[in-house]
Structure 1
Amino acid sequence: MSLPFDVLADPTRRRMLELLLERPRLVGEIAHDLELSQPRVSKHLRVLRDGGLVTVRAEAQRRWYQIRTEPLADLDAWLAPYRRLWTEHLDQLERHLETMPDTPEEQ
């Protein structure tokens, strides 16, 4: 499970996934949108591809990159118990805030 976390630890790769969430893109488009060099983008895309988070489709000389949702679903499943914990804490905070006076005069 650590590989997707390692891959997503880099903010540039997370930004790339945000772009790919909209639609498949070419390397040049990603480079332009992120204002990065094409070789740098290609290196990051290779890490994303090796980590199973994107696929690449060759079309003549062009390479289309597309997000893979399966590894992200695995991450979401791993995070589920923590999400329940956060929700419980937020519910406790909400209950606490509801018991507090609304105005300073009520204190």
Structure 2
Amino acid sequence: MPTFDNVLVTGNQTIQGDLHVNGNETIDLSLQVNGSQSIAGHLGVTGEIDGAGTIKVGTRLISLTQATVPASIPSTQQVRFFPVGISNQPGLILKGTDGNDYVLFIDLTGGTPHIGIHLA
């Protein structure tokens, strides 16, 4: 197998096998993966991750920035449980202690925002 210190690709490149990067990799524009991609270490994103489908997290999704309370008096809120859900309801899906998946979403039907929750 040939060994190179530097490889410059100015057009498109198709790799039919595996691409192993042992050091750092900088991608200035976009990285498109049409199949599957496993990242065993760390993926740092300074912009956004845009998921047209479903982004799955194995254990936890953590926000590192602390929320700030707005400078206003909060109104009385409640969490509304809907015993019958909607198929493919957009929202944050969390696994309950009973093993079921639940969808959290914002309910504005009464004019005041409430957290809504139902079985996924």
Q: TM-score, normalised by structure 2?
A: 0.17
Task: Flag the structure with larger Rg.
Answer: 2
Higher RCO by CA contacts (8 Å cutoff, separation 6 or greater): 1
Q: TM-score, normalised by structure 1?
A: 0.19
| Higher fraction of helix | 1
